[in-house]
Amino acid sequence: MSRGADPRFTLEVAGMTCDDCAHHVTGALAGAGAREVAVDWRAGRARFSLPQGVREQPLRAAVEAAGYRPGVLARADGLAAPPDAGTDFDLLVVGSGSAAFAAAIRAAEGGLHVAMVERGTLGGTCVNVGCVPSKALLRATETLWAAGHHPFAGVPTSAAAPDLGAMVSQKDELVAELRSAKYEDLVADYGFEVISGHAQFTGPGELQVAGRTLTARAFLVATGASPTVLSINGLEEGGFLTSTTALQLTSVPGRLAVIGSSAIGLELGQLFLHLGSRVTFIDVAERVAPLEEPEAAARLAELLQEEGAHVLAPAEVLEVAATPTGKVLTLRHDAGEEKLEVDQILVAIGRSPDTAGLGLELAGVEVDRRGAVMVDSHLRTSNARVFAAGDVTGGPQFVYVAAYEGQLAVGNALLGDDREVDLLGLPRVTFTSPQLASAGITEAQARAQGREVRTTVMPLSAVPRALVNRDTRGLVKLVAEAGSGRLLGATVLADGAGDVISAAVLAIRHGITTAELAATLHPYLTMAEGLKLAAQTFTRDVGRLSCCAA
């Protein structure tokens, strides 16, 4: 098909039961501007072409007016419809991570003409320097640690010295493969344009990129975030690692200080601990994992110490000095001041929004004191034509939240949606070993909201799967509304906790009570059974029940 031909689309249509239904839908779509309409009521699908200027919402409205339910609209020929007159594109996306791609795909499926601007490597943080590479190395080091420390009688326990260079090389191969399959290849599949260069707003409705001035009906800022750097005397001169550069090391540091003990610091700290580093975790908060339930955080700290780590929390780094043999940190904690000599320092105190140099002030887009783009519940900025999604907004920094927000922002900006961000039951996982996973709100958060709650903390020794695994290092905590019993929050510290927590997410989102959770069938000898058992502890002593007792 030539570039000037009308693009072809498919639209799922529910409620059709006969040929007459197909005729009604055909007439509705044609009346809304579609051409060459063909409707298959058995398949529940309509195929048609769209002339320039015909948009998704009138088509949907026409189908609904005819008495049927429109579903997903998808492009059938790989080409995007041209933008409205007067602009270069319908949508310009700044960034190329999960929020950016989710937005571009949703827009392309809606027949919009889309361009994405990227100044660096396509794919953003997750696939290149975040989730994928870190979890690949974490899994490798978990396997190494288990080979030398497993609890099973009769099974040889042995682990040779690791080859970190080979592990990093394999990790890099996986990153390249997924970047190609999940990002680069999709550009052609969905037919949007990628423009290389630094994007800068020059006004409320235009961007300048590599000498080009580009206009669009709507803009999406999805530039993500970068590791936050601490202002500590001597740190810059002494040198330090970030979550990005730590994943590039090919030799194991003998002594490692990890400043920050939330998810990234805990994961990477334990990674090097399992490789043989002597690791010290340092945090200004009262405990590691300070945003999680205190019972789970305390148990995780114990586990890290049992594996050989040193935990200092609360503690403050006053200064860093380089020496011929490494670096010396001056620390202040409850016991006074202390000198700590290490080979490497990993700074993992969080990530800061990437908004510098975007010219947001020229577009009338407001940012907060951290530089995060300020958005409303629809992800619209102070400029009605500019939306923002993902880490750049300063919200929860999870790749799945970024993707969710990206497609939601485009729907609100250009496809006639009116949806608010809804993060009820939001899951979060720290990929330590064992994993620490949570959903919903903590007990402290619930009480801060003025809620009366009931809680239970069940040791993992009550879960048969943990006994079979010979690994009872963990717990399950549930937070429920006192009157209704509705589940508000859940925390699981266990092997596979990240998979278990999905059930808690659904329970929270759908208002399930702990009594209903306790009465729900869970397969025996799975870690997920821990949720049922924990729910039962609100009314029963699960230690006095037989296996699978309801």
Both tokens of 14, joined, read: 């529910």
Mapping DSSP to helix (H, G, I), strand (E, B) and coil, where does residue 397 land? coil
CA distances from 398 to 277, 290, 393, 401, 515 (A): 28, 17, 12, 5, 31
Contact 59, 12 (CB under 8 A): no
Q: Catalytic annotation on 21?
A: yes
The DSSP 8-state label assigned to residue 374 in this structure reads: P
Task: List the catalytic residue out of 1, 374, 524, 548.
Answer: 548
Task: List the catalytic residue out of 1, 18, 374, 524.
Answer: 18
Task: List the catalytic residue out of 116, 126, 458, 527.
Answer: 126
The H-or-E segment that residue 192 falls in is none
Q: Catalytic annotation on 18?
A: yes
CA distance 439 to 186: 31
Q: Catalytic annotation on 68?
A: yes
Q: Catalytic annotation on 1?
A: no
Task: List the catalytic residue out of 1, 116, 131, 183.
Answer: 131
Both tokens of 379, joined, read: 């992800």
CA distance 397 to 243: 14
Q: Catalytic annotation on 16?
A: yes
The DSSP 8-state label assigned to residue 23 in this structure reads: H
> Which residues, in sequence order, are bridge partners of residue 117?
94, 195
Nearest to 539 by CA among 513, 518, 511, 508: 518
Helices and strands counted in the chain (H then E): 16, 25
Contact 21, 40 (CB under 8 A): no
Instruction: Please count the other Cβ atoms lying within 10 Å of the Cβ belonging to residue 334.
Output: 8
58-75 burial by CB neighbour count: b if 16+ within 10 A, else e? ebbebbeebebebeebeb
Q: Catalytic annotation on 548?
A: yes
Residues assigned a catalytic role:
16, 18, 21, 68, 126, 131, 547-548
